[in-house]
Structure 1
């Protein structure tokens, strides 16, 4: 936190050969509008993202100009981050073999409306695991607050000038720094022991997690991710979506996703088993189906009151900011 960064940057322009809107591609990485590691400027469609690389922390700014993206980076990880901009914006992702079925008009329409959306590959496995661990079995509002509190308290101030209008960004803690967070601080952030243990266990295996980037077999990647205690099908899928760029990593075991997707496709809410059968023709692209329908804004009807926030941890009060 006490480091002083020289405000200098490295700039590259990526010519994608297709229209690229960074926020449309990587917006799923943002943990709510107050995410200390991700800021979106809607006026210029610019994304500011703070992350930790094998070479050190970095602040990355992505500004689209049609089929080109200007990428500017500050910090020790600048070269690594800039080298990865094409993958981050989905250059390794392909729609080959994906063809929406005519009996699924909502998907046909979503594919027509968002033809340039790709699945990103951050190459940051532990970072994705830490975020997914905090997001387990709670509402988005709870998870976003926990992430926000912990990053502001234990993250590292991002190098460079900050985001738009001088907004301060924070790089997520390094694995060894997550392990130093006292138990009472986890509770203050509203993250109980079950979820904090997922992050702490992953922190002890961070190097092994990063090595999964060298694998090409999705089943083996999932097996290794799920070998960690507390990591199930949902958490592994979230990591594969974000870090590995896996277009097939559907979010099974989520409270809403299978219902949303099945409702969008056939107008009927199905559980995981039913939805799995429904989207089997899209194997290899099942997360793409999920993402396109999310972008189209199609949700199953919500009945009754919204889930109440818990009050059993010190951080889970109404002091939500």
Structure 2
């Protein structure tokens, strides 16, 4: 986009570009999302930024009306396979907060200076600034949805000190933490007092969202003991356990077939420091940072897909909350029907998963870690041939040792090559792990794909889901 086209998006309050870019107004010192309902500023007073962090770094504070920090992420970070895209995905997962810039650079295979230079050149902000903006958003959520003390919120959001927390909140929001809490919407609603009570979130997305398709897809593949979908279509709740860096958690997401531009979510956290990581993993699972307009424009131009795209506006390509968990389950159930794969994964969870301290509903376990399966006796898994059990063990060993990496910043092509180097891993299985486990929007698992597939890039994963959703086809 040019700056003039960005300004036209601001003038028309086009929500399609929320999160894609931000604009700031020199006369007010405020930055906003493109759909901000305020009076459109004069073009001469407007500047544009690729990220909220860049706008903050330039001295602008977040608009209190449109809350530009609470927008979907740019779909560019899902598409891009370069170091900048990989870095943004890792920062979103909380790597800088946990491991610092050195840890981020090590995961990317670059020096810290190279990472800093590339992020600054493209996004106008380095890794520390990007992580700081994310911490500020997490703190605002906790201030406005919980009754936790400010000191608890500061450390839960990833700040090193209460002083740093206070300064950041003032710079980003031009308000003290107390003022920000007092301004929370729905002040009559009782806020939770701890993470175990469930932190309520609204997970934003752009454009139409086919929640029925996503919930159907997840319900058909829910691993017993780890996932469940309860309720009637149109009013279902998806629940799952999460293994997070500091403590286990449970996420709940409600289906909203036609209301709002968000999904209601509750995160029952064992440790509030995991809020950012848990949020990002749920967002990836539900594909909430997708750009359905770009997908529909590209795929709708294909005569074969056009009627499917028209019939399912807002179709998504669900990802995975835990790529390693997904990889193990996919290898275990390779070639089996979804109901059989679910049964096998459930048996694996019962035998080797970690029981929850407080089971609830159908959720009883965390999925086993790869390290738990390396020496495990899998002979009790009925219906799994010996050679497939050995493949599961080899994949688990490769994940446990780091020979195969499946984190958000992984080089996807390299990960697929590494998976295919393991005996027993088929191209179909490796492609599915790349598509769902790594959230790659441009994967076409079937070797029998139509010749038009080249025209579907970079949205081949969505084309695959459209074909699976067609009445005559079934997804694996």
Q: TM-score, normalised by structure 2?
A: 0.50
The answer to whether residue 424 in structure 2 is matched with residue 230 in structure 1 is yes
Give the corresponding residue for 2:198. 9
Paired position in structure 2 for 1:251: 445
Unaligned runs of 5+ in 2: 1-194
Q: Is residue 248 of structure 2 the alignment partner of residue 74 of structure 1?
A: no
Q: 1:1-321 to 2 correspondence within 5 Å?
A: 8-20=197-209, 24-25=213-214, 27-30=216-219, 32=221, 35-43=224-232, 44-65=235-256, 66=259, 67-76=261-270, 79=275, 80-95=277-292, 96=294, 98-101=298-301, 103-104=303-304, 107-122=305-320, 124-158=322-356, 162=360, 166-186=361-381, 189-206=382-399, 208=402, 209-211=404-406, 213-215=408-410, 218-252=412-446, 272-273=447-448, 275-299=449-473
Q: 2-side partners of 1:31 and 1:55: how far apart?
A: 30
Q: Which has the higher contact order (CA 8 A, sep 6+)?
A: 1
CA distance 1:225–1:26, shift in 2 (3 Å) = farther
Larger Rg: 2
Contact 2:355 2:365 (8 Å CA) reproduced: yes
**In 1, are the aligned partners of 2:227 and 2:363 still within 8 Å (CA)?**
no
Cα 1:295–1:36, aligned 2, differ >3 Å: closer, same or farther?
Answer: farther
**What is the rounded CA distance, in whole Å, between the counterparts of 1:159 and 1:117 in structure 2?**
36
1:158 offset after TM fit, Å? 4.2
Q: Distance in 2 between matches of 1:74 and 1:241?
A: 28
1:161-184 per-residue CA deviation (whole Å, 9 max, x = no partner) reads 62xxx3344321112222343142
- Secondary structure of the equivalent of 2:423? coil
SS at match of 1:245: coil
What's the secondary structure of 2:408's corresponding residue? helix
Of Structure 1 and Structure 2, the greater helix share is in: 2
Following superposition, the deviation at residue 127 of structure 1 comes to 0.9
Q: CA RMSD in A?
A: 3.0
Q: TM-score, normalised by structure 1?
A: 0.71
